[in-house]
Chains A and B, each alone.
Chain A
């Protein structure tokens, strides 16, 4: 492990990315689908409101996007910081 400082930068970049993704994860599921549902109840979707859609479809779709975004971004970070698997 010769590139010690580089590893630290890599790890902070990882933590930053994880934090951003988990904030979105929480806002969508606990927020829009449950606790903040009354705030967006004015937005109608197919006979009900947006919060219901997030609870039954939307949050799952957002989770999917988050994991793929994370995988793509991390695999790129690995290369940028020279810690990828050869």
Chain B
């Protein structure tokens, strides 16, 4: 059986499974559509949260991000896991106790203000829509790479599948498909990683293999890697730079993670407050299975590439063009890898032209520049099974895993978007007397509308794929996180404070990003060049989230000091959110 047929079979089976689950888990009420009827087991919810959270970026790109930079990009590992500590202790249990369906609903009720509700809806929509674009394009690309369809066709297939289970099942359908998607993606990620770790270190656990002895050289794996890299003019894998910026970026990712509405609403699905606490722990267990493996995949894949390009070591000859492994040819076709024999010696020299002393070394050895001219970081995960010489079905599994990662996150985001529209705008603002049945219908219509919008934006991405994520995290950190946290931890915080805090966080963070990345990310409209010399206090736009959060907290504090305290019943509401007793009452609603 050829690889294409295998890919179609494995991906087709996984899709049939998702649709089967959707039919089994149809939503019959708004409670089921928004919160899966609050009947989800905390371990199951943890697994669904892990799939909800881990996007195409985690699955496909993160190992590559770490591999090409090394220590400094540990920020992604810590930032995207450490946010769960904040969520588990500062938000999730209390919001579950509040017992409603959406994040803007808490903001609107707690701050007794429709304005606060609408501002929260706007923040949610900006965060979730920017985030979903990346998922849809990611799914389209995964399709086109593995299933030999155009990425446009791929995007339509992906949208159609999400449409079926999200519109039909709402949160209930999404929860159980996310569980299936988690299993697909973690198996796909782990199998090649285990084999590569065995080949390089003899240790079957990649996270341990990373710190083990390399069987080829008898030295620790990281020492071998550092040696090869520095000999070829690259920076050392384990050495870092600018620790304060690293810390700031990690903080930005952590606060942003804790403030993402599509993750927060997952904790509304468990039966009890105590379950919400456990569930956050389980979510991190399932996330950690991938996140502890990713840095090992990164380092090992990088080492594999180096030894493939320099089979005799750096002192010997580079790899001959005809000796390049098969996966090299396969992936060259996709444009993710590209070689160019600049000096015409029939060999491919891979090194860092701008590294210290490399110009002299190149002149001495007759190199005419780096000849591995294209090297996309996503290749490290995508080609992993081929690098480890694993059978075709593992390659097919990577295709299914990448799609599972993209689709599960997209579905979670779409639910956050549609529930904000149907529940917070249509029901709470425009038509409070709407019947449950009509609201459920509107929830489905909003979901369908959100999918159409996401598909459109996926087909016509505004040309800022990489920056989009920075915007989503920066805004989640600067708007929703502080507002939610103050709503729980400060009884004195009033509506004026919360509203102005959110607005200042939203506007200042957006303007700071737009200043360097272009207004609404339209290239050429940026007012300052995106270089370190122009940054305010040296803070890059991607690191701005915590600053926005501090501004939000500060503005909220001073505005609320200057205005009247919230009414008694709101203070009682805060009291009741703080204690778990009585959470069951929300079930009947």
Query: Which stretch from B1-9, B163-171, B241-249, B497-505 is at the chain A interface?
Result: B241-249
Q: Mark B342-379, 1 if CB is under 8 A from A, else 0.
A: 00000000000000000000000000000000000000
Q: Mark B248-289, 1 if CB is under 8 A from A, else 0.
A: 001100100000000000000000111001101100110010
A67 and B280 form a contact (CB under 8 A): yes
Chain A residue numbers with a CB within 8 Å of B572 are: 1
**B257 to A: closest C-beta gap in Å:** 11
**How many angstroms from the CA of A25 to the CA of B83 in the assembled complex?**
10
Can you give 18 A-B contacts (C-beta < 8 A)?
A1-B579, A7-B578, A30-B250, A33-B74, A46-B220, A47-B219, A48-B211, A49-B238, A57-B295, A64-B284, A68-B281, A70-B88, A70-B277, A74-B277, A75-B274, A83-B579, A83-B581, A84-B580
With contacts A46-B211, A71-B277 known, is A56 near B250, CB below 8 A? no
A27 within 8 A of B: no
Label chain A's interface by main secondary structure: helix
Question: How many chain B residues touch A (Cβ–Cβ < 8 Å)?
Answer: 57
With beta carbons under 8 angstroms apart, the residue of A11, A37, A46, A59 that contacts B240 is A37
**How many angstroms from the CA of A47 to the CA of B236 in the assembled complex?**
13
Q: Mark A6-37, 1 if CB is under 8 A from B, else 0.
A: 01001100100010011001000110011101
A47 and B220 form a contact (CB under 8 A): yes
A18 and B578 form a contact (CB under 8 A): no
Chain A residue numbers with a CB within 8 Å of B406 are: none
A60 and B580 form a contact (CB under 8 A): no
**A27 to B: closest C-beta gap in Å:** 12
B89 and A18 form a contact (CB under 8 A): yes
With beta carbons under 8 angstroms apart, the residue of B74, B88, B223, B277 that contacts A55 is B74
Q: Mark A66-86, 1 if CB is under 8 A from B, else 0.
A: 111011001100100011111
B581 and A85 form a contact (CB under 8 A): yes
**How many angstroms from the CA of A64 to the CA of B287 in the assembled complex?**
10
**How many angstroms from the CA of A68 to the CA of B281 in the assembled complex?**
6
B71 within 8 A of A: yes
Chain B residue numbers with a CB within 8 Å of A7 are: 575, 578-579
Residue of B nearest to A29 (CB): B78
**How many angstroms from the CA of A37 to the CA of B242 in the assembled complex?**
12
